Amino acid sequence: MKVTVYQNNGKKTKKKVELIDEVFAIEPNDHAIYLDVKQYLANQRHGTHKSKERAEISGSTRKIKKQKGTGTARAGSIKSPLFRGGGRAFGPRPRDYSFKLNKKLKLLARKSALSYKSKEEGIMVLEDFNFEAPKTKEYLKMLTSLELENKKTLLVLPAANKNIVLSSRNLPKAKVTTVDSLHTYDLLHADSLLISESSVEKIENLLK
């Protein structure tokens, strides 16, 4: 599949880039995508939640009323989960939510996400560019010229570029990543995928 290369001012160039079917036009695997996104979201969780159980509550251990004759249920401790201020029964404890996935499955998920984007015509290839200094106005001007200022965009660069990253950081719908950090969640979350020209080959070499 051939795609036209655009300049960052929105103008078409005469160049075209070949996106190989092995990466950008496979039969998408929804379950692989689900597992990869699930792992990504699980890995974002700190797992530091904690509530006190009855053994950790400070308070008297005195029996609060006699065993029989009150007409109500037995009660042995003010720290019981049944009382206000008591410990919580089966409350959350710190835990690690992360889990492992096979490399081949993760590659399949990324190729599936790229194939979906390709089918939706949500991929645009840009000529390699750079900003002389970090300027949000310049990045917004680029998105406006590409008619993407109101859409969620993901720009994929071959390597980290401080000026471009800082220029996009204040725009809530814009995100910049590198080929090595490309993830299924980011691909699906973006409405439009912007790939710099030199990133195409790196993505293909990484995923095929």
For 79-109, the DSSP string reads TSTTSTT-PPTT------------HHHHHHH
Mean pLDDT of 79-97: 93
Residue 58 lies inside a defined structural domain of this protein: no
CATH number at residue 150: 3.40.1370.10
Within a domain: residue 62? Answer: no
Domain count, the chain: 1
Report field, pTM of the whole predicted structure over 0.85 = no
With bands split at pLDDT 50, 70 and 90, how would you rate the model's confidence at 11? Answer: confident
Q: Is residue 84 part of a domain?
A: no
92-148 pLDDT per residue, tens: 999 999 999 999 999 999 999 999 999 998 899 999 999 989 999 999 999 999 999
Residue 72 falls inside a structural domain: no
Is there a domain that residue 89 lies in? Answer: no
Q: Which domain holds residue 193?
A: 2-46+99-207
Sheet holding 174-178, edge to edge: 12-18, 2-6, 123-126, 192-196, 153-157, 174-178
Does pLDDT of 195 surpass 90?
A: yes
* Domain-embedded: residue 88: no
114 is a domain residue: yes
